[in-house]
């Protein structure tokens, strides 16, 4: 367990280093607050460079747990325009354009153009957005003319 929480002194100061048992007790008693804290951890670590394999595995695991929780407990927007879904999720998760560009592995200007409606969301983008936010990638694509 210590390998998981030995993220680096800077990350520990930013995120805290509460014992695993505290996290388990809270998740049984109040999932929403725990999910928000876990999301903050994933968001903060996902934009960091130089994480080792154990740290990357930890980020992936916590991200998967957050996604699974949100699938069952957070309403998924279904009838909104793809760019509105993206804006909503970015705002909800407090993700900046810069952070989103890192998630895509693209230049920040591409995300800005997507948000302004000057560029369409590609299938590749939709997959990355879906994976990051734990939603169906189809939410980011206009698949029918309804």
Tell me the pTM.
0.48
Which phi and psi angles does 75 have, rounded to 5°?
-60, 135
pLDDT of the chain, 146 residues: tens digit per residue? 344 444 455 555 555 544 444 444 444 545 777 777 877 777 777 777 888 888 888 888 887 787 777 777 766 555 678 898 899 889 988 899 999 999 999 889 999 999 998 999 999 999 899 888 888 888 888 765 44
Q: Which residues contact 108 (CB under 8 A, 6 or more apart)?
A: 97, 98, 101
Distance in angstroms (rounded) separating the CA atoms of residues 43 and 51: 14
Our CA dihedral for 120, 123, 127, 132, rounded to 10 degrees, sits at -10
DSSP state of 17: -
Domain-wise residue ranges, the chain: 2-73, 82-140
Topology of domain 82-140, CATH: 434 Repressor (Amino-terminal Domain) (1.10.260)
94: left (phi over 0), alpha (psi -120 to 50) or beta: left
């Amino acid at each position: 367990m210590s390998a998981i929480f030995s993220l680096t002194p800077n990350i520990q100061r930013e995120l805290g280093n509460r014992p695993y048992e505290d996290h388990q007790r809270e998740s049984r008693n109040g999932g929403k607050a725990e999910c928000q804290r876990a999301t903050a951890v994933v968001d903060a670590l996902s934009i960091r460079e130089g994480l080792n394999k154990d740290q990357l595995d930890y980020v992936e695991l916590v991200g998967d747990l957050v996604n699974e929780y949100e699938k069952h407990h957070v309403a998924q927007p279904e009838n909104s325009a793809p760019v509105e879904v993206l804006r909503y999720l970015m705002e909800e998760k407090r993700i900046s354009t810069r952070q989103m560009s890192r998630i895509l592995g693209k230049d920040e200007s591409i995300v800005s153009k997507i948000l302004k409606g000057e560029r369409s969301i590609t299938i590749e983008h939709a997959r990355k957005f879906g994976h990051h936010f734990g939603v169906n990638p189809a939410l980011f694509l206009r698949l029918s003319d309804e």
